[in-house]
Structure 1
Amino acid sequence: MGTGPGGTGGGRGLAALVLSGTFQQKSGDPEPAECHRSGDARPSKPVSGVQLCTALNRADLPTLLGTPTEYAMNASGNESVGDWADGTRTVTPEAEVQLSTYTVQLSASGDDVPVAEMAGFLGSSAQNRTVGGHPAVLYSNRTVALKFNLGGGKVDTGPGGIARSLVVAKDTEDGGGFYEISIWRQDDVPPDDFALFRVAETVLPTVPGWTAG
């Protein structure tokens, strides 16, 4: 078991809980999971975590990921609240959909940092790209594996698998605000970049606040 990748989170970082082992689908329960709200934070505007989840939890998401026989086993949306030393509070809407092979996470930020300038602090392998005519940055992060010792009740941490993420400006002018979409596998196999771009190019235009290019 492990924790997911740290996202940009507006430069402050955010994490999610994921499993690094292989999930077993229930053959007698083939219905995909529906989005549910978790957490008690007030929904953020102009988009909420549940709205992001609804956009992400598409019927064709397994096909976009290259795993057409799978289905969403868990789907949730929430708002992550951050209180900072300067007295400001940020509310970051985020959603996660979990399949047998992949987990997909989508978040939205209102920060005014231009996406085109983010490659410099997202690692040496970060690449400037475009998604639907919007400036974007493709980068890698590593999940953190958690290993449970059932006999002793201890939890050990270590490096997990690779996550691939796209930070995408909300508009073509890169005028402020962005979405971040990440995928990672439940095994140690690197995720498919083509799958990430298929999901981003299909899902993001359906999210409130996206400006068509």
Structure 2
Amino acid sequence: MPRTPEPGPPPSPVTADDLDRAVRLAVATLGEASPAAWAGKAGSLEWDCWETVEHLGDDLFAYAAQLAPRTPPLTGEVPFVWESRRPGGPANAIHADREAGPAGLLQVLEASGALLAAVVRTTPPHVRAYHVFGISDPEGFAAMGITETLVHTHDLAQGLALTWTPPADLCARVLTRLFPDAPRTAAPWPTLLWATGRADLPGHPRRTTWRWDGTPRKATAPGGS
């Protein structure tokens, strides 16, 4: 009888360093954009590129805020006021000063990413907090922040005429953490774009709706590090 393959090593966890890396690469890429391009649409989104960066910064800030309280909420979001600046625009708590230009906008993004990374680093792994896609842990919120960064930078790169191909290892780790049922027959980056409804994948119909699963993959003992 053929032998059952031995299980491979468990995947590396998603870390705050991974989040730092994703945001740093995104900011460097977006910094190459023409100042005149920011008013254009971000890929298939209904928002312009400026609004999309504000939305991404808002995501990272909101994840940090959700984990930060001494007792994080488990039934809803920390009640910041999220509001749109125009009908159809993203509902954010974070907005960048337009007078600061694209450099200021990217500084807002970098600061929001640093806030989330700092909270992930300092929050014990047994802590749980609410997210609409499943109560999650610090690693899960880091993975969410990376996913938002990678795929929205893809949207932005389309609108800003930039090239964006993030590292395969980052994509693979967030796929394992948030999309455990995604196929493993293609490279991680095309698979992540497929998992988030942004691309076709051979043998799999394009997704018209999608969500990740942020719930922890295994129990973590209280007080672990």
Return the TM-score normalized by structure 2. Answer: 0.25
* Bigger share in strand: 1
Q: Which has the higher contact order (CA 8 A, sep 6+)?
A: 2
The structure that has the greater radius of gyration is 2
Return the TM-score normalized by structure 1. Answer: 0.26
* Bigger share in helix: 2
